[in-house]
Amino acid sequence: MSNEEHLQCNAHLIAEYLVVGWRNLKDAEGNEVKYSRLNSGAIFVANKGNWLSLNQFVIAHASSYVNYLCKQKEKDVESIKKQ
């Protein structure tokens, strides 16, 4: 497998299985981009020139324990609010 094929495969896997949502993402015109698998694919797979930087950013963010704790805290606060 070539390096380009490897990056494309990673971009596809990240778009389909690792990215499950986002907030405050804007397009070039400043319009909000809503999360969907289609939009995720368009961003991660179609942006060939940015594969390496996008992939590294998402993997680093997803593997950060601090990010996990922050997300868990948000879920706990929402759960308490509902009680």
Kindly list the domain boundaries of the chain, sorted by start residue: 3-82
Give pLDDT, residue 29: 94
Entry pTM: 0.57
User: Model confidence over 14-25: pLDDT tens digits?
Assistant: 888 888 888 898
Give pLDDT, residue 67: 73
| 49 close to 5: Cβ distance less than 8 angstroms | no
Give pLDDT, residue 74: 85
Q: Is the model more confident about 3 or about 39?
A: 39
Q: Give the pair of three-digit tokens for residue 76.
A: 């706990």
User: Model confidence over 29-71: pLDDT tens digits?
Assistant: 999 999 998 888 888 777 777 777 777 888 887 787 777 788 7
CA distances from 35 to 19, 41, 75 (A): 9, 10, 19
